[in-house]
Structure 1
């Protein structure tokens, strides 16, 4: 019985360390290489994005930032996530098609997208009829980089693996 208790205790204590190293291994975002400033991105998110978006931990349902808005998809784990795949959000056809190209949200395509959502999708899909559902545009490129740096602090591909496997609804 002692051996079983000891083995169980070791498993419980080892799980967080294993999970952390596993998550780091799956991440495709190198935080040190990001051009933006996460602190400035937080300020901008709270000014520009909270009307439509929330950052809510998908495992705990805890709202980390935002006002629990549901107009746009939850941005938890957006860094490294396949576009158009967050479960429970009704994505547009163009965003779903963009995700089906094998793309993932990285700094470069995120910055381009938030500056001109429809223009970005039209160019990425080579389809002049493609339309983005996001009407807002981040006019300042530096602010777009800051926003991505901030959002990348809330998990990456490993955290959003469940979202990426879910049926697209953008």
Structure 2
């Protein structure tokens, strides 16, 4: 009986956690407004920052035609690939994850904003 109660509690906790971290691409588009000064996601175009079109699954520091900092190219060479986990860490505090990055953005503090912006970026990644 204890085991059933334990698994039921874990299932409920997992459901609640998953629901609270649900990703919303429309909300992410609004958060992405902070990024539009330097980045484009809906097409493959570099600006002050590299294009984020297709960023999910891309090795850090490798988008063609963009001049990355040495720190970002080294991050890519060391195996950093942009997935939900690495983007979450990077978007929270870019300079802490990649010391020496040229990105001036200080980061997003709300987990919900980070999850939503990742949902937005997923739309433009294959």
Identify whether the pair has TM-score above 0.5, normalized to the shorter chain. Answer: yes
Residues 149-168 of structure 1: pairs in structure 2 closer than 5 A: 149-156=119-126
**Aligned pair count?**
105
Note closer, same or farther for the CA distance 1:40–1:56 as it changes in structure 2 (3 Å cut). closer
Measure, in 1, the Cα distance between the counterparts of 2:57 and 2:22: 16
Normalization by structure 2: what TM-score? 0.75
Query: Who wins on radius of gyration, i.e. which is larger?
Result: 1
What's the counterpart of residue 96 of structure 2?
A: 119
Measure, in 2, the Cα distance between the counterparts of 1:107 and 1:35: 13
Residues 1-170 of structure 1: pairs in structure 2 closer than 5 A: 35-45=22-32, 47-58=33-44, 70-121=47-98, 130-136=99-105, 137-156=107-126
Secondary structure of the 2:78 match is coil
Normalization by structure 1: what TM-score? 0.57
Could you say which structure has the higher strand fraction? 1
Mark the runs of 5 or more structure 2 residues left unpaired by the alignment.
1-20
Give RMSD over aligned pairs.
Answer: 1.8
Mark the runs of 5 or more structure 1 residues left unpaired by the alignment.
1-33, 59-67, 122-129, 157-170
In the TM superposition, structure 1's runs of 4+ consecutive aligned residues that sit over 4 Å from their partners are none
